[in-house]
Amino acid sequence: MAQAHLFRKGLAAWAQKPYLLRNRSLASISKQKRSIMPEAAAHQSGLDSTSAQLVHSINASNVRLVLYATGGPIQVPTWLLSTASGLNQTAVLEVLLPQTQGSLVDLTKQVLPWCSEAAALTLAQVAHRRAAHLAAFGTPIVGVSICMDPAAPQGHRAFVAVHGKIQGPCVACIQLTQPGASRHEEDTVISRLVLKVLADALDAWPRSLQGQSKTLAPQGWAPSEQLCVSQPLDSEGIPAAVSLKQIAAPDPLEALMAGNVKCVEFNGSQVVTDAPRRNKLYLPGSFNPLHAGHKQLLAVARSLSGDKEAAFELSIGNPDKGMLPVEETRRRVQQFVDAQLPVVVSCAPLFPDKSDMFPDSTFVLGYDTAKRLVMPKYYGDSELNMLLNFARLRHRGCKFMVAGRYDAEAKKFLTLRDVQVPLGLADLFEDIDEHDFRVDVSSTELRAQAMRQEPLGARPSGASRVE
């Protein structure tokens, strides 16, 4: 009796927590699954030929995804993992299976109906942000959610959402239309339809299946068009009705200007909206224009930080100059897109705001910015306010790396050692040595040169300033 009580207690405790699978556990689960389910037995697991091709195509794409599924067993994660030869060969970064309303609230920070379009869209957005945290800059990412109702009678429905596509989120409602099927049969049908929705969203439809009218969103499909499946899509013979909705995405920079998103990340053709990444290296600036000094400084800082992932950061707001116009912001962003360099455009002009958006990160500064950062006059002439702002930065785990510049009046190269950093804040600053970085260029001079349309005048050979 005591053993039975302990078992029930343990089972109840497990049921109160979301079932979390991270990369390390995914590796062991995938390895174990392959050992007991070879390719020859794939059909016995419910993975038919069409689904197997879809899984292979999704895993072979360059997109990486995080998948959150509520409401009971779902076979899609197992299929995506069991056919991969290793973690590097699967599109899956992480799978989370929240099984309680509390888990859903913890993830979304909202109280949402358990099985609904709103829950699916919100959960997919949360999964997308998680994917941004797990993936490298420039990696195409999406968040995927599957919302089912575990208490629903047979003939239940599920919502599938994908967030992260440039054209906007999409959501599908799958309604099983034949009563009498077992829960496992229904789950198999929904899982196969999820693969089709996902393949459509990722543009990963296999060539071998194209032209067979198997895709749920054929060419020419109109947003919000109801697509009803009249023929069974699986070997179980269970018909299902599927409706798809494509939600138009607003212009990302206009959404940022309107305050609807926190940041927009550009990396070549990849655009990631409202998914700030923590624990990175950021070089903030106005970049008017972007020049070789900026690029070299970030490269040096990354090398000194142990090859930490790095990006430039452009704020649309400036405490002294106000908001950048959207077209001017586009012009500055285009410099990075053309150079294939990552830049994050944010609405965080002040470093305490940046620390809230990018916790555990290191910000790369020039001498002049570092000097102003520790002057009480920039905090309402209050040393207490300055210290409170630094306490906020410290709490968020943020630090600074400081590059020097040549001062013509002082006729010397000024570094962090020339900044009067309060003793209690010294551990938040790291000096970039003159031998590591010293570049004779500044944005101010480049703008003046462009206006004069004449070469830069001669300056001391060691002159350097990064703006």
- CATH number for the domain harbouring residue 11: 3.90.950.20
Please report whether residue 92 resides in a domain: yes
- Do 425 and 300 reside in the same domain of the chain? yes
**Do 284 and 354 touch, CB atoms closer than 8 A?**
yes
Which among 388, 392, 274, 259 is positioned nearest to 316, based on CA atoms? 259
d(CA 324, CA 311): 20
Which among 303, 312, 306, 305 is positioned nearest to 341, based on CA atoms? 312
Please report whether residue 458 resides in a domain: no
- Do 242 and 257 reside in the same domain of the chain? no
Q: What angle do CA 454, 456, 457 make, to 5 degrees?
A: 110
d(CA 309, CA 226): 43
d(CA 391, CA 272): 30
Query: Which tokens belong to 146?
Result: 């599957």
Query: What is the widest separation between alpha-carbon atoms in the chain?
Result: 91
Q: Can you give the pLDDT of all 467 residues of the chain as single tens digits?
A: 444 443 334 333 333 333 344 333 333 333 343 333 434 435 545 578 888 889 999 999 999 999 999 986 678 888 998 766 555 678 999 999 998 889 999 999 999 988 899 999 999 999 999 999 999 999 999 999 999 876 665 557 889 999 998 778 988 888 776 666 777 777 887 888 888 888 888 888 888 776 544 444 444 434 344 444 333 344 355 566 777 888 888 999 999 999 999 999 999 989 999 999 999 999 999 999 999 999 999 999 999 999 999 999 999 998 777 899 999 999 999 999 999 999 999 999 999 999 999 999 999 999 999 999 999 999 999 999 999 999 999 999 999 999 999 988 889 999 999 999 999 999 999 999 999 999 866 666 655 666 666 554 444 434 344 55
d(CA 415, CA 397): 23
- Do 108 and 229 reside in the same domain of the chain? yes
- Do 155 and 97 reside in the same domain of the chain? yes
Please report whether residue 389 resides in a domain: yes
Q: Among 198, 216, 246, where does a domain finish?
A: 246
Please report whether residue 325 resides in a domain: yes
Phi, psi of 242 (to 5 degrees): -125, 130
- Do 242 and 266 reside in the same domain of the chain? no
- Do 446 and 417 reside in the same domain of the chain? yes
pLDDT at 165: 82
Please report whether residue 195 resides in a domain: yes
SS3 string, the chain, reads: CHHHHHHHHHHHHHHCCCEEECHHHHHHHHHHHHHHCCHHHHHHHCCCHHHHHHHHHHHHCCCEEEEEEECCCCCHHHHHHHCCCCHHHCCEEEEEECCCHHHHHHHHCCCCCCCCHHHHHHHHHHHHHHHHHHCCCCCCEEEEEEEECCCCCCCCEEEEEEECCCCCCEEEEEEECCCCCCHHHHHHHHHHHHHHHHHHHCCCCCHHHCCCCCCCCCCCCCCCCEECCCCCCCCCCCCEEEEEEECCCCCHHHHHHCCCCCEEEEECCEEEECCCCCCCEEEECCCCCCCHHHHHHHHHHHHHCCCCCEEEEEECEECCCEECCHHHHHHHHHHHHHHCCCEEEECCCCHHHHHHHCCCCEEEEEHHHHHHHCCHHHHCCCHHHHHHHHHHHHHCCCEEEEECEEECCCCEEECHHHCCCCHHHHHHEEEECCCCCCCCCCHHHHHHHHHHCCCCCCCCCCCCCCC
- Do 134 and 116 reside in the same domain of the chain? yes
pLDDT at 24: 34
Q: Among 246, 267, 283, where does a domain finish?
A: 246
Query: Which tokens belong to 162?
Result: 């994908």
- Do 286 and 147 reside in the same domain of the chain? no
pLDDT at 6: 37
Q: What is the pLDDT of residues 113-162, one digit of tens each?
A: 888 999 999 999 999 999 999 999 999 999 999 998 766 655 578 899 99
- Do 229 and 258 reside in the same domain of the chain? no
Look up the pTM and report it.
Answer: 0.81
Is beta strand 92-97 parallel, antiparallel or unpaired with respect to 64-70? parallel
Q: Among 217, 246, 275, where does a domain finish?
A: 246
Amino acid (1-letter code) at residue 259: G
Please report whether residue 467 resides in a domain: no
Please report whether residue 464 resides in a domain: no
Domain tally, the chain: 2
- Do 306 and 290 reside in the same domain of the chain? yes
- Do 178 and 40 reside in the same domain of the chain? yes
Please report whether residue 459 resides in a domain: no
d(CA 403, CA 437): 7
Which among 110, 115, 87 is positioned nearest to 29, based on CA atoms? 87
Residue-range definition of the domain harbouring residue 201: 7-246
- Do 289 and 190 reside in the same domain of the chain? no
